[in-house]
Amino acid sequence: MIEVEGLTKFYGAFPAIQNLDFHARPGEIVGFLGPNGAGKTTTMRILTGYMPPTSGTARVAGFDVVDQSLEVRRRVGYLPETVPLYPEMTVFEYLAFMGALRRVPDLDDRIDEVLEQVAMLERSQSYIGNLSKGLRQRVGLAQALIHRPEVLILDEPTIGLDPAQIIEVRRIIQELGRERTVLLSTHILPEAQQICDRVLIINHGTIVAEDTPGNLQAQLAGAERLTVVAAATTPELTRMLEAIPGVTGIRAGARDGEVEVATAPGKDLRPLVARRVVEAGVDLLELRSVGISLEQIFLQLTREENDAQAGG
């Protein structure tokens, strides 16, 4: 549904994105992760036909974004990061305007339907200028959905929302993602972890990793960590834990009696660690494995990339 090959965009001499290759299938929610200025918005703007790439190709719903831009724009629903709205219009007028541009049949019924979907039906006659940020975000989402697009492109859809609104918008996106291709950018990593089937991590305009959140965690978990909580930490306990083959590091945890044990990947050392704690004459209160989070993966990848660029 989205196929991108060698996509490059220069702003003057500055490369915003370089040689991007990725795809997204129907019924898939793909998260576009990256720090600010990584090239997420540029990529999305190219995919929505807002601006052409400097080189490379992108096809959306089978149409080229440059040569068949109008066909692409008919099939894409887009929510830009800034949620551009007309404050002097009512919600209904705004959706009627956008729906008319997109030739939506039975427009009045469709507006009611889409407003119900984003839980805004009772605010249809409110002026957009009087709405809160969260409600405006929903109006923006309704606009992106008004023409039943095959592909939804959402740039930071939950930014600036309160926690309840974030949960609600995520629920809507998950629902939409069942039958459409959704590409969403975010720098809220738990969000990507929670709602995306696949994530693309982009940094300095290039994709540095692409996989499901689970696979990324498995691949990149260079060091598993165990958290051990004992009744007390003694030098003897520390020495015995360090002596276990496969343990690569020990450090004190945040609480009294807590020790963080770093282990080599692929080895489950929990039984051995439990025995050593007991042998050290200390009561074991808690022992758990701490997986590496997407946040850590993200930082690791973007840091590696930055180091490589600085070095080379």
Residue 178 CB, nearest distance to another protein (Å)?
A: 24
Q: Is 51 in the site for another protein (CB under 8 A)?
A: yes
Residue 66 CB, nearest distance to another protein (Å)?
A: 11
Contact, 146 vs 100, CB < 8 A? no
Q: Is 148 in the site for another protein (CB under 8 A)?
A: no
Other C-beta atoms lying within 10 Å of the C-beta of residue 268: 12
Chain positions 254 to 283 lying near another protein, rule: CB under 8 A, are none
290 forms beta bridges with 225
Q: Contact region for another protein (CB under 8 A) — 55-63, 75-83, 114-122, 168-176?
A: 75-83
Q: Contact region for another protein (CB under 8 A) — 28-36, 76-84, 117-125, 162-170?
A: 76-84
Residue 137 CB, nearest distance to another protein (Å)?
A: 14
Q: Contact region for another protein (CB under 8 A) — 67-75, 106-114, 271-279, 281-289?
A: 67-75
Size of the site for another protein (CB under 8 A): 25
Residue from 80, 134, 246, 253 touching another protein (CB under 8 A): that is 80
Cβ-proximal residues to 216 (8 Å cutoff; 6+ apart), any chain = 199, 201, 209, 294, 297
- Buried b / exposed e along 7-41 (16+ C-beta atoms within 10 A): bbbeeeeebbbbebebebeeebbbbbbbeeebbbb
Residue 73 CB, nearest distance to another protein (Å)?
A: 4
Residue from 6, 11, 162, 278 touching another protein (CB under 8 A): that is 11
- Treating both helix axes as pointing N-terminal to C-terminal, what angle do 133-145 and 91-101 enclose, rounded to 10 degrees? 30
Residue from 30, 40, 45, 247 touching another protein (CB under 8 A): that is 45
Chain positions 81 to 140 lying near another protein, rule: CB under 8 A, are 82, 84-86, 88, 97-98, 100-103
Q: Is 290 in the site for another protein (CB under 8 A)?
A: no
Residue from 50, 57, 174, 300 touching another protein (CB under 8 A): that is 50
Residue from 73, 110, 136, 204 touching another protein (CB under 8 A): that is 73
List contacts with another protein (CB under 8 A).
11, 45, 48-52, 70, 73-74, 76, 78, 80, 82, 84-86, 88, 97-98, 100-103, 143
